[in-house]
Amino acid sequence: MTDTHDLISRNAVFAAERFTSGLRINPSGNMMVVGCVDPRVDPSHVLGLSLGEAAVIRNVGGRITPATLRTMAMLGKVGQANPEGRPEGDWNLVILHHTDCGMTDLAPYHDLLAEYFEIPVDELPDKAVSDPYESVRRDVDILLSELRGSQFLVTGLVYDVDTGVIDTVVPPTPLRTP
């Protein structure tokens, strides 16, 4: 077990040596990442993000569920409430799926997954829970249709937990015009 005292010691080093003051609530990189909770795929590490650069949403599988969309809508309101220091230009919304995802272990749990995605059980094959390359395409498609008309590019990536290398499955794609 990682000890809490150890964490506080690490934080002291962070606060003394790596903390950046004056960061804004709006991501400096005009960027949001949706990724998996898997400890091997922390977007800050595998994408080399800086503190304050991106908003990161993590859930099981890094999936675009109704709950993810609600969270994104809430973050949009937070952005509107903090217009000062908000970077201009398009946003990069990155969906980061990965190989060997625990989602695969959940495939037999149909009711659990149907509840998670808020869909009927018979639509679960559409979610491609056992194939990160296909699931990231499906989730990009959801964002492209749900966020219509906004200034977003949507990108679909798959991280290989065996090599540390990311595949660009869906290159940055602008939203379809309404």
**Binding-site ranges for Zn ion (CB under 5 A):** 36, 38, 101
Distance of closest approach, residue 62 Cβ to Zn ion, in angstroms: 7
Decide whether 34 or 101 has the Cβ nearer to Zn ion. Answer: 101
Decide whether 132 or 175 has the Cβ nearer to Zn ion. Answer: 132
Decide whether 41 or 154 has the Cβ nearer to Zn ion. Answer: 41
Distance of closest approach, residue 125 Cβ to Zn ion, in angstroms: 19
Q: How far is CA 52 from the centre of its chain?
A: 15
Distance of closest approach, residue 35 Cβ to Zn ion, in angstroms: 8
Distance of closest approach, residue 101 Cβ to Zn ion, in angstroms: 3
Residue with tokens 């099981």: 60
Distance of closest approach, residue 117 Cβ to Zn ion, in angstroms: 15
Decide whether 27 or 61 has the Cβ nearer to Zn ion. Answer: 61
Residues across the chain: 178
Q: How far is CA 115 from the centre of its chain?
A: 20
Decide whether 6 or 160 has the Cβ nearer to Zn ion. Answer: 160
Q: Report how far residue 9's alpha carbon sits from residue 95's, in angstroms, rounded to the nearest whole number.
A: 33
Phi/psi at 172 (nearest 5 deg)?
-50, 120
